Amino acid sequence: MSEHYNSEVWTEKYRPRKFEEMVGQVEIIKRVRALTNSMNIPHLLFAGPAGTGKSTLALIVVKSLFGESWRENYLELNASDERGIDVVRQKVKDFARTKALGDVPFKVIFLDEADALTREAQQALRRTMENFTSTCRFILSCNYSSKILDPIQSRTVVFRFQLLEKKDIKKRIDLIAESEGLSINADAFDALYEASEGDCRRVINLLQATASISPNITPDLVNTIVSKARPSDIKIVLDYALSGDFVSSKEKLLDIMLKESISGQDVIKAIQKEVWNLPIDNALKVRLTEKTGEIEFRLVEGADEFIQLESLIAAFVMAGIGNGVGGLKESG
Ligand SMILES: Nc1ncnc2c1ncn2[C@@H]1O[C@H](COP(=O)(O)OP(=O)(O)OP(=O)(O)O)[C@@H](O)[C@H]1O
Ligand SMILES: [Mg+2]
């Protein structure tokens, strides 16, 4: 097996190249396809969770519009890479200066992670979009449309992508399994899907990692690859916190995250599940769940994992004190 073959990334190898190859997002694909066929698309906003097909669909649109000459007519920018809107504006200007090649009267600019732009940058983007509407169409992609200014939203047609359903993920996994000669039984697929939570990129990456160990995919094999915070470890963190022992709680948390290299977001998810098993009253569970959601949102937005998780533990400590939930430490 050549090195090239080994280094091939399956998410790219199996990235759909035609509308028909996409799974899920049925209504979106139908409408976007119709717009593309009319050869006249408005500005588009693709909003939704990671790994659900936003970038993939944007590329399909561009390739369908321009065929062979898509590269000349397409500019991809990542809002979080570009230092400030001035860079974006300059790149857009340079790109938009020349006319589109071929039959389509406009070029396409794909702006990924548009929700990473500040308000001011978005104001500037809005003006840029207006100035170049005759020569360019924008496709904006973001995780949270709520972070995109209304005046931009109102200038785009908004499409809300959903997490992929099990049956749709299965279609892609079956295709890859067939092509790569893997055997995946129903339980192994369940384990893959559960770990992916509807994120197609994650499920494909996980499958590739698992297949690098053995082509016979089993649930055990999948679970050795998925690093998940063990509920029993998370319970110890929470028990310490509720009993008022902030320091031990924090140490245990660091231990889990560093030694087992589990991400902040995975820890949050595990905490969120574990809250409901704690020996505390429901009102408190609800409050802590709310707090957990808030911290999760901040992590998704890119806040520092350790600071945010410490602040979450602090909330558990406060909740424990406020409700006289002392003496839980022994149970940990
Ligand atoms: N709807 C889908 N149908 C088929 N494959 C998909 C779909 N969504 C995602 N994939 C697979 O997952 C990979 C990542 O998808 P994509 O880059 O489109 O995600 P995204 O929605 O742009 O995510 P992000 O928000 O992280 O940018 C693709 O290369 C493809 O292999
Ligand atoms: Mg993307």
How does DSSP assign 35-103, residue by residue?
Answer: HHHTT----EEEE--TTSSHHHHHHHHHHHHHGGGGGGGEEEEETTTSSHHHHHHHHHHHHHHSPPSSS
The predicted model gives 132-149 an average pLDDT of 92
Residue 4 has pLDDT above 70, yes or no: no
pTM of the model: 0.74
Residue 305 has pLDDT above 70, yes or no: yes
Ligand 1 site residues, Cβ closer than 6 angstroms: 11, 14-16, 22-25, 50-56, 143, 164, 172, 200-201, 204
pLDDT of residue 329: 40
Q: Which ligand is nearest to the CA of 46?
A: 1
pLDDT of residue 5: 47
Q: What is the mean pLDDT of the chain?
A: 88
CA distance 201 to 99: 35
**Ligand 1 centroid to residue 208 C-alpha, Å:** 15
Within 82-230, where are the H helices? 84-97, 119-131, 150-153, 166-180, 186-196, 200-211, 219-225
**Residue 82: pLDDT band with limits 50, 70, 90:** low
pLDDT of residue 332: 34
pLDDT of residue 3: 38
**Ligand 1 centroid to residue 238 C-alpha, Å:** 35
Instruction: Using DSSP, state whether 151 is helix, strand or coil.
Output: helix
Residue 303 has pLDDT above 80, yes or no: yes
Architecture per CATH, 166-225? Orthogonal Bundle (1.10)
| Digit-coded pLDDT (tens) for 28-64 | 999 999 999 999 899 999 999 999 999 999 999 999 9
Ligand 1, atom 16: nearest CA belongs to which residue? 53
Helices vs strands, H then E, count in the chain: 16, 7
**Could you tell me what percent of the chain has a pLDDT over 90?**
59
Mutate to test the pocket of ligand 1, among 52, 145, 148, 162 (most ligand atoms within 8 A of CB): 52
The predicted model gives 80-101 an average pLDDT of 79
Q: Which ligand is nearest to the CA of 176?
A: 1
The C-alpha torsion from 215 through 220 and 224 to 230, rounded to 10°, is 160
pLDDT of residue 324: 59
The fold of 25-160 is Rossmann fold (3.40.50)
Question: What radius of gyration, in Å, describes the C-alpha atoms of the chain?
Answer: 23
- The b-or-e profile of 66-84 (16+ CB within 10 A means b, else e) is beeebeebbbebebeebee
**Ligand 1 centroid to residue 267 C-alpha, Å:** 24
Residue 265 has pLDDT above 50, yes or no: yes
pLDDT of residue 323: 67
pLDDT of residue 29: 98
Residue 6 has pLDDT above 60, yes or no: no
> β-strand 136-142 against 44-47: which pairing, if any?
parallel
Assigned CATH class of 231-331: mainly alpha
Which residues lie across from 77 on neighbouring strands?
111
pLDDT of residue 51: 95
* Residue ranges of domains in the chain: 25-160, 166-225, 231-331
**Ligand 2 centroid to residue 51 C-alpha, Å:** 7
Residue 321 has pLDDT above 50, yes or no: yes
Most confident of 82-96, 181-195, 272-286, 311-325: 181-195
- Record the tokens describing residue 127, joined without a space: 């003006």
Residue 271 has pLDDT above 50, yes or no: yes
pLDDT of residue 46: 97
- Record the tokens describing residue 190, joined without a space: 């369940």
Least Cα distance to 193 among 217, 170, 212, 221 occurs for 170
| Digit-coded pLDDT (tens) for 177-192 | 999 999 999 999 999 9
The C-alpha torsion from 190 through 191 and 193 to 194, rounded to 10°, is 110
Least Cα distance to 110 among 68, 66, 154 occurs for 66
